[in-house]
Homo-oligomer: A and B are copies of this chain.
Amino acid sequence: MSEKKKIYKPKPISGFPEWLPEYRAVELQWLDKIRAVFESYGYCSIETPAVEELEVIAAKGEDVDKEIYVLERLQAEEGSKKDARLALHFDQTVPLARYVAQHFADLTFPFKRYQMQKVWRGERPQMGRMREFLQCDIDVINVDNLPIHFDAEVASICYEALASLDIGRVQLRVSNRKILLGLLEALNIEDTIKVTSFIDKLEKIGREEVERVLKEDVGLEEDQISQILELVTCKDLSSINAKNDTMKEGIEELSFVMKQLETLPADAAISDLTIVRGLDYYTGTVYETQLLDVPEFTGSVCSGGRYDDLAGSYINQHLPGVGISIGFSRLFDVLRQNGKIEAGPSSPAKVLVVLPAEDQREAMNEVAQTLRKNGINTETAHGGKLKKQIAYAEKKGIPYVWFPADGQVKDMASGEQTDADPQNWKP
């Protein structure tokens, strides 16, 4: 051990966060809560590999292609070139589509699944942007036709999941793209992607700037612009005058969804026609979610919507779906950085059984095993001075210390020490 060693001091890798045990404990607790809500609605878990064939994953959207991580073997074996190129998935929607297509015959529809996995994007890291992050997704997929009430169900589930984390007021904003797209159709406006992408920025860049770009960049008439802006800022769905069937359908769908969401607490869900989601992928209901009590969290913590055809590139089946995704890592990281998350204990144990003297080892182990059998997480001390053992419990946030020979337990918070029987003791 005395020889001079060459030390490579490791640095954090930008964009790949990791937590100390006391924050990981909170993260695990949150993930357990989210999973419990997903399962309470009967959504099943699936887990797909970290990789997909590059052919499956690439060219889903050109913007994302440049963020894709491809795997290369450090030392390629001869002949290994024959293998398909593999890439880390950058979301959970492409893997879901591939999964449903591949296992179509073995799945029961409507297929309701949740998925909580890491995804990877090779973008430049910045505050809240990560290269590796965890998403918590739920989606429902059906064959040919998916009833609209699922659009309300996934919204409720996401609301409940976020509310279970105790991070202040959560507000879902819900819209239906058919309403705006119907109006654009009625106004003979063809460049719908450009228009919706500017409406998407309304809150960020302001009404005046949107008016300017719709006029100058898209070339719309003033009357068209004012009709569009009147529609998207309208607060009362029933006051909207449907100009065609698309608009009418959108209004009906959104009204149904909002009606279903009335069981949520007041202000938990509002309709907001400025929500369009940039993506052309969505065809009806769309969602975003704000944390009303966390102004530091900009943008949407949980978004999604309804799509017409999940897996058309992989299977000759019409598979409409609706889904929402919680951007878990960003949520956790922003709240943590803003001091909104209290660190948990760095041990899951409720009790440390101490070892005041070596001849109490057997007694210590017996007490610990009894407590564990009763469902109480328990550490045993590793020896050394008693004072140090108790300091260890304090440092790790273990709330009780047990003295095996005396049959006594000490509450670390109050300092109170009482007689206790491991057979029937509860923390």
The interface of chain A, by Cβ under 8 A from chain B, is 1, 5-14, 16-21, 24-25, 27-28, 39-56, 58, 65-75, 77, 80, 83-84, 86-88, 98-99, 101-103, 106-108, 110, 112-113, 118, 120, 122, 124, 132, 142, 147, 149-150, 153, 260, 263, 309, 312-316, 318, 346-349, 352, 361, 365, 369, 372, 376-380, 382-383, 392, 395-396, 398
- For A102, list chain B residues within 8 Å (CB): 10-12
A21 proximity list for chain B (CB < 8 A): 44-46, 107, 113
Can you give 23 A-B contacts (C-beta < 8 A)? A1-B318, A5-B313, A8-B313, A9-B314, A10-B101, A16-B51, A18-B99, A19-B46, A21-B44, A21-B45, A24-B44, A24-B45, A24-B46, A25-B45, A40-B376, A41-B379, A42-B348, A66-B77, A68-B73, A71-B71, A108-B346, A112-B347, A147-B383
User: In whole angstroms, how far apart are the Cα atoms of A43 and B361 in the complex?
Assistant: 20
Is A74 touching B87 in the complex (CB atoms < 8 A)?
yes
Q: Is the CB of B7 within 8 A of A313?
A: yes
How many monomers of this protein are in the complex? 2
Residue contact A49 to B347, C-beta cutoff 8 Å = no
Question: A-B pairs with the 4 shortest C-beta distances?
Answer: A42-B379, A42-B349, A16-B49, A39-B348
Q: Return the chain B residue nearest A366 by Cβ.
A: B263
Q: A1-B318, A9-B314 are in contact. Are A46 and B70 (CB under 8 A)?
A: no
Q: Is B66 within 8 A of A372, CB to CB?
A: no
Judge whether B69 and A72 touch: CB under 8 Å.
yes
Contact at B74–A66, with CB atoms within 8 Å?
yes
